[in-house]
């Protein structure tokens, strides 16, 4: 176990030094920060891909109504997690890191103990509220059957709260491997159990009038199972590897009281809760407003729930995947930005901001265009069983795919501002955007017949406002000058050319063969090739930037 950790963490935990003796302390810290950030970003990417993959068969089995109940239940679950445990890994890791640097071993142990008490109490309270309040929430949302998946998700909030403390403990020592492993294992178990349980529940309760609710409950069972598996692994690693995280004792350590530690926990947790609650509550407000106002217009409850399932499963899932890929690939660069900021190296900070935003946009632009021009074949291939509202799903994806660009940009600029110690600004910007979003959504649902299309309009508007406000603050606070050509214009031009080729090839091949796959797959492959060649020929990346990516030197020889 010890040798395995030394191999992948790059640290000798007994001495807290890099084993690469030729590096300076600062260089070693920088390399390790990038390594650990890359490990965590890679794990995040893998879990997002797994999460996307298992939702496809599960969504096809549930049907539109089941997907609607599942997505609404998860929106409520997201708020519950935000309140009880979302910020715990960050708070614990920060406090452990501070006390480790000062050699305060007893205080570090006290942080873990007090954080576990907080997680136990907060997780238990939220669990009980969610379980016994599920019937009340079902009435508020006017969604018959919603209580069933909520009752399964309730104990998951308790498990995840405890899990957050252990993840924060390892992260506090700069080791992201345990967190990454637990995240991947959690998602694998989640995927397997969710798909199997959904299939079983839909089969067993096939004759029930609540079959959609049982299908959604089966899907949430995987979330609980994944959390339990991850907690078991983290607790096992915590018990068996504690010797490797010894802190050199400071003889002048001043013992901290429990009250002091809880106060420090709350001061770290509350800003994160406020920030994330704005994002989470937006989905909840959308669900409540859409459900009530659509019924006021005379739509049946099942139709409304099904439309919500179309929006949250067939549209949102496809939008979120490229955003997750873009931000995960860029996440490993963000620790380096923070380190350059600590060294007061403004030039390096600006250079890295440009690089990380460029990587995001080079992924986000073609993703948005590809989803738009191939929306119909994508829906047919991924969701063959969901046919009732397919035309609406295709229009949603084709018209709302631009959200990929703005969500990627808003998430990244939020991280940049937070890394520059501007913690309050992203919260304020999100609150402003949410207020605009809610007012516009209410007006569109009340005074127009847009129904589900009102949601996609407001879904695109929200990240646009956040991105604009964040970008303005980055310019004002950091003196950053945006490189519009390489960062935005060239990826847009290359994506437009790619889109025209992909759409034309698909239409020609489909008319000739009549086969969806024989038309769509070659169109997608050719689209990737055209985009890659075009983006390189336009000079979006310099030779130095190409050398820093895998296979970049071969591309330089090919192009130049």
Q: What is the pLDDT of residues 261-306, one digit of tens each?
A: 878 788 777 766 776 677 778 888 898 999 999 988 889 988 999 9
The pTM for the full model equals: 0.81
pLDDT score of 289: 93
424-482 per-position pLDDT tens digit: 888 899 999 999 999 999 999 999 999 999 999 999 999 999 999 999 999 999 999 99
pLDDT score of 403: 95
pLDDT score of 58: 94
Q: Which residues contact 89 (CB under 8 A, 6 or more apart)?
A: 164, 165, 167, 168, 171, 179
461 burial (CB, 10 Å; 0-12 / 13-18 / 19+) is: middle
Distance between CA atoms of 197 and 221, rounded to whole angstroms? 7
pLDDT score of 23: 46
pLDDT less than 70: residues of the chain:
1-38, 40-41, 245, 247-253, 271-272, 275-276, 326-336, 338-339, 342, 545-560
Nearest CA among 267, 374, 330 for reference residue 40: 330
pLDDT score of 171: 82
SS3 state at 17 = strand
CB 29 within 8 A of CB 338: no
184 burial (CB, 10 Å; 0-12 / 13-18 / 19+) is: middle
Q: Which two tokens stand for residue 158?
A: 């308790």
Distance between CA atoms of 116 and 334, rounded to whole angstroms? 29
Residue 12 dihedral angles phi and psi, to the nearest 5°: -95, 100
How many angstroms separate the Cα of 100 from the Cα of each of 113, 117, 263?
Answer: 15, 21, 19
Q: Mean pLDDT over all residues of the chain?
A: 84
SS3 state at 141 = helix
Distance between CA atoms of 426 and 417, rounded to whole angstroms? 7
How many of the other CB atoms lie within 10 Å of CB of 537? 11
How many of the other CB atoms lie within 10 Å of CB of 188? 16
CB 136 within 8 A of CB 57: no
CB 72 within 8 A of CB 146: yes
Nearest CA among 447, 444, 453, 448 for reference residue 392: 453
pLDDT score of 322: 85
Distance between CA atoms of 552 and 558, rounded to whole angstroms? 10
Distance between CA atoms of 393 and 268, rounded to whole angstroms? 41
CB 327 within 8 A of CB 410: no
């Amino acid at each position: 176990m010890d040798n395995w950790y030394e191999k992948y963490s790059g640290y000798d935990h007994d001495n807290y030094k890099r084993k690469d003796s030729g590096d300076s302390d600062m260089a070693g810290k920088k390399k390790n920060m990038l390594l650990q950030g890359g490990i965590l970003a890679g794990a995040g990417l893998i879990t997002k891909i797994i999460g996307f993959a298992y939702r496809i068969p599960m969504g096809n089995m549930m049907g539109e109504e089941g997907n609607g109940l599942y997505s609404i239940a998860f929106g409520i679950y997201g708020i519950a997690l935000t309140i009880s445990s979302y910020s715990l890994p960050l708070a614990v890791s920060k406090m452990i890191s501070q006390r480790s640097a000062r050699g305060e071993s007893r205080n570090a142990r006290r942080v873990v103990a007090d954080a576990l008490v907080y997680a136990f109490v907060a997780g238990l309270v939220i669990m009980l509220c969610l379980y016994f309040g599920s019937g009340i929430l079902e009435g508020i949302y006017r969604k018959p059957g919603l209580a069933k998946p909520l009752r399964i998700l309730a104990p998951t909030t308790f498990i995840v709260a405890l899990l957050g403390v252990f993840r924060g403990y390892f992260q506090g020592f700069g080791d992201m491997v345990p967190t990454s492993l637990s995240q991947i294992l959690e998602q694998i178990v989640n995927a397997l159990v969710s798909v199997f349980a959904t299939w079983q529940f839909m089969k067993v309760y096939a004759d029930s009038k609540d079959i959609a609710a049982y299908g959604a409950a089966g899907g949430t069972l995987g979330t609980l199972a994944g959390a339990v598996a991850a907690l078991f692994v983290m607790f096992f690693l915590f018990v068996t590897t504690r010797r490797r995280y010894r802190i050199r004792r400071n003889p002048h350590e001043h013992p901290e009281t429990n009250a002091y530690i809880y106060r420090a926990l709350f001061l770290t947790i509350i800003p994160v809760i406020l920030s994330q609650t704005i994002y989470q509550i937006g989905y909840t407000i959308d669900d409540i407003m859409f459900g009530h106002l659509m019924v006021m217009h005379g739509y049946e409850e099942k139709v409304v729930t099904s439309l919500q399932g179309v929006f949250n499963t067939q549209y949102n899932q496809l939008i979120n995947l490229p955003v997750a890929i873009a931000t995960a690939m860029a996440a490993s660069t963000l620790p380096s930005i923070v380190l350059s900021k600590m060294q007061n190296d403004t030039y390096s900070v600006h250079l890295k901001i440009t690089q990380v935003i460029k990587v995001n946009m080079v992924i986000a632009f073609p993703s948005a265009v590809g989803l738009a021009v191939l929306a119909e074949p994508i829906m047919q291939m991924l969701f063959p069983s969901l046919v009732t509202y397919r035309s609406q799903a295709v229009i949603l994806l084709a018209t709302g795919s631009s959200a990929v660009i703005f969500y990627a940009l808003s998430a990244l600029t939020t991280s940049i501002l937070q890394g520059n110690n501007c913690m309050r600004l992203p919260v304020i910007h999100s609150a402003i955007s949410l207020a605009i979003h809610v007012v516009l959504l209410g007006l569109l649902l009340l005074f127009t017949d847009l129904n589900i299309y009102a949601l996609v309009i407001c879904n695109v508007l929200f990240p646009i406002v956040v991105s604009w406000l964040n970008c303005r603050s980055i310019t004002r606070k950091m003196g950053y000058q945006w490189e519009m050509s390489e960062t935005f214009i060239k990826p847009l031009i290359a994506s437009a050319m790619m889109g025209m080729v992909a759409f034309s090839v698909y239409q020609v091949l489909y008319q000739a063969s009549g086969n969806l796959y024989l038309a769509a797959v070659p169109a997608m492959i050719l689209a990737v090739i055209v985009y890659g060649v075009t983006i390189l020929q336009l000079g979006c990346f310099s030779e130095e930037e190409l050398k820093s990516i895998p296979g970049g030197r071969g591309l330089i020889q090919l192009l130049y």
